[in-house]
Structure 1
Amino acid sequence: MHDLLAHGVGLLECARRLGWALNTVKRYARARNVQELLRPPRYGTCLVDPHRDVVRCRLTEQIPVTRVLAEIRERGYTGSANLLVRYINQGRADPERVSPSPRRLVSWIMTRPADLPEHTRRHLADLTANCPEMTTLSTRVREFAAILTQRRGQDLAAWISTTRADALPASTPTSTGRRKTGTPPSPA
């Protein structure tokens, strides 16, 4: 596809020639290499999830899977051995958790904590605990959501002042001194 683009063929014509959807062609055109096209798999909740920490711990101790299965069954696991093996083979029980994509991390921050699966809440807590700016950002996003959903407009000015005082990266006004609304900056 990049060869077609290099020869001056447009995106729509590339889609027609290759028999691909236009959005797929656009995504491939934006990618500089194959790694940019790879997306981490999105797994739903699983019967093994409540036992993930035990599975991880036993795997790092190099305990055989059959013994791990017996132990988590004693703790209430009702799934099959095949499900546990597939879970492990997918890397979902790896002790070193893969960092989520920026898009997924934003979706976790934007979701009410009660609506996130327990393992996702723990992963998000681990990620934000390692970065003070992320902890502050996550807190401010949740506060803003509460102001909006609870219709507490009177609290918005205080929230804005607090957020500005946090001086989070990329949250300061642009170097031109104007805000995006086009209003002039307040006198300092």
Structure 2
Amino acid sequence: MLTRPDRLKDHQRERVEAARTACHEMTALADLIHHFVVLLDPADGNATLLSTWITSAQAEDLPHLHAFTRGLEKDRAAVDAAPTLPHHNGGTEGVNNKTKLIKRQMYGRASFPPLRHRILLG
């Protein structure tokens, strides 16, 4: 459901359509997800669109989605910055992920100096 409809393969599209026709809640959830995915591409008007999306999500009878929207409202400044600004911390997260991977691979094999050497040279 998180994939854009134009990128779905035929068998995936069939499964999504089967889920949507199964019940009203699934149809509402799929529509809300598709509208939310559009907000993930940074653009200037996304903060307003996000407010509209939150209002429509709270109008549906989906309790787990209500919890998600309450979480969005708690730190609204950061949430508004994410879909409107082109900046992100992807590079930092990538380095952290790589460091943790190397640490897991080296666990129990060597002491700190070889681990440090592998991180710095890797």
TM-score (normalised: structure 1): 0.33
Higher helix proportion (structure 1 or 2): 2
Of structures 1 and 2, the larger Rg is shown by 1
Higher relative contact order (CA 8 A, sep 6+): 2
